[in-house]
Amino acid sequence: MLEETGLPYEPHLVSFETNDQMSPEFLSLNPNNKIPAIIDPDGPGGSPLALFESGAILIYLAEKSGKCMPDDPAARYETIQWLMFQMGGIGPMFGQLGFFHKFAGKEYEDKRPRDRYAAESRRLLGVLNQRLEGRQWVMGDDYTIADIAILPWVRNLLGFYGAGDLVGIQDFPNVTRAVDAFVARPAVARGLEIPRRNPQPA
């Protein structure tokens, strides 16, 4: 989103390997010790503003920059509605599926938890696929914070979590088309490289 808006920013890597998210400095931005978190030194009224939760950050940046959010009030609320769809459904369900499919959960003999999250993830993909029928993006021709919130989760579901076959992603062609268009955006390509990690010694 910061690359899309063109707003100046300074990225900071928060490493879970060294528990950076538990540092007093990070907790001063986000007492819930999760990423992302931002601080805008030039917030409303010229005062610094710290924000956490990706949905809140996206709305703030959209309003500050005047980008990725419709001007029409009804379309604005519809965009926020789809942002909440990610926050309340896509994110939690895909994240749980990732745990039970890729991480420690894969060792569980009982596959009911994994299958429950796979089924719900598949249902959510169906909702998204139907929404994208005949639309380039979630809100139509205009790229918005709804796309910025939703499509990285689908990308992670397929790539990082490797759960495409499990959810039958081939049944959701509108979703895969939108993800391909998303990763082709120059701002997304730049954002995926930030912050750059130092190369590991050979």
| 36 and 94 together in one domain | no
Average pLDDT score, the chain: 94
> What are 169-190's pLDDT values in tens digits?
999 999 999 999 999 999 999 9
| 84 and 126 together in one domain | yes
Let me know if residue 104 belongs to a domain: yes
Q: Tally the domains of the chain.
A: 2
Start-to-end Cα distance in the chain: 34
Q: What is the pTM of this model?
A: 0.92
Closest CA to 180 of 201, 149, 161, 158: 158
Q: Report the distance separating Cα 121 and Cα 97, nearest Å.
A: 8
| 78 and 118 together in one domain | yes
pLDDT of 52 above 70: yes
> What are 191-202's pLDDT values in tens digits?
999 977 655 444
| 63 and 79 together in one domain | no
| 112 and 146 together in one domain | yes
Q: Band of the pLDDT at 4, cuts 50, 70, 90?
A: very high
| 83 and 57 together in one domain | no
DSSP state letters, 17-77: GGTGGGSHHHHHH-TT--S-EEEETT-GGG--EEEESHHHHHHHHHHHHT-SS-SSHHHHH
| 82 and 168 together in one domain | yes
pLDDT of 167 above 50: yes
Domain that holds residue 8: 2-67
| 97 and 169 together in one domain | yes
pLDDT of 38 above 60: yes
| 98 and 170 together in one domain | yes
Let me know if residue 143 belongs to a domain: yes
| 90 and 184 together in one domain | yes
| 80 and 160 together in one domain | yes
